[in-house]
Amino acid sequence: MSLKVGLTAILLTFFLCMATMQSFAAPKKIYVWRDAQGVLVFSDSPQPQVDAEEIKLNSKAIEMKAVDTSDLYDIKDTVKTIKFTIDITNPTPDETIRDNTGSVHISGRIGPRFVQGHKVQLYLDGAKYGKPQTSILFVIRNIDRGEHQLQLKLIDAKGKMLAKSKNVTFFLHRRSIITGP
């Protein structure tokens, strides 16, 4: 007897689930009308006080096959084919800078655009100055007075040089301790 009750309960549960699923799968009716302010109102139940219009929905699903677009645009190949340029915009060639602390602000420009993973290395008088960085702005401090040369090099994530700027010569003037005030 208990087996019959168990099977009956399972079958009853199954049929209730199927009926519930069927109600979700049935097409829904949608009604539209304008309210007192002229705004379109959409609802799944008609309102008795307004003249609601039923909207017929096209329930056909549109299927599209997946298309492999990876060969259309490969970022790695594009980065390799770009010819990068890098220039020093400040200081200008043969500029005289007067700074008693020996500080010089350097800025540059990269073309066509700065790519993530690339870094810029500053060279002062032919030697690396500091570590490569992701910014094109540098500040060098406590530089001796006299003539100096700057150069910027653009390097990729693997350390390969992609572009280098022309050498820019500048002159730093610092007040001498010997001559006094």
Strand (E) or helix (H) holding 163: strand 161-164
Q: How many helices (H) and strands (E) does the chain have?
A: 2, 12
Task: Determine which of 10-14, 16-20, 40-44 has the lowest per-residue pLDDT on average.
Answer: 16-20
Report yes or no: 25 and 9 within 8 Å, Cβ to Cβ: no
CA 181 to each of CA 45, 60, 102, 176, 178: distance values in angstroms, whole numbers, following the listed order: 91, 89, 18, 9, 9
Q: Which domains does the chain have, with CATH numbers?
A: 27-57 (no CATH), 78-173 (2.60.40.10)
pLDDT, tens digit (0-9, with 9 covering 90-100), for 134-155: 989 999 999 999 999 999 999 9
pLDDT tens per residue, range 102-144: 999 999 999 888 778 899 999 999 999 999 999 899 999 999 9
pLDDT bracket for residue 170 (50, 70, 90): very high
| Whole-angstrom distance, CA of residue 82 vs CA of residue 131 | 25
pLDDT score at 105? 94
Name the residue with higher pLDDT: 160 or 72: 160
Q: Is the dihedral of CA 127, 131, 134, 140 positive or negative?
A: negative
Q: How far apart are CA 62 and CA 43, in angstroms?
A: 25
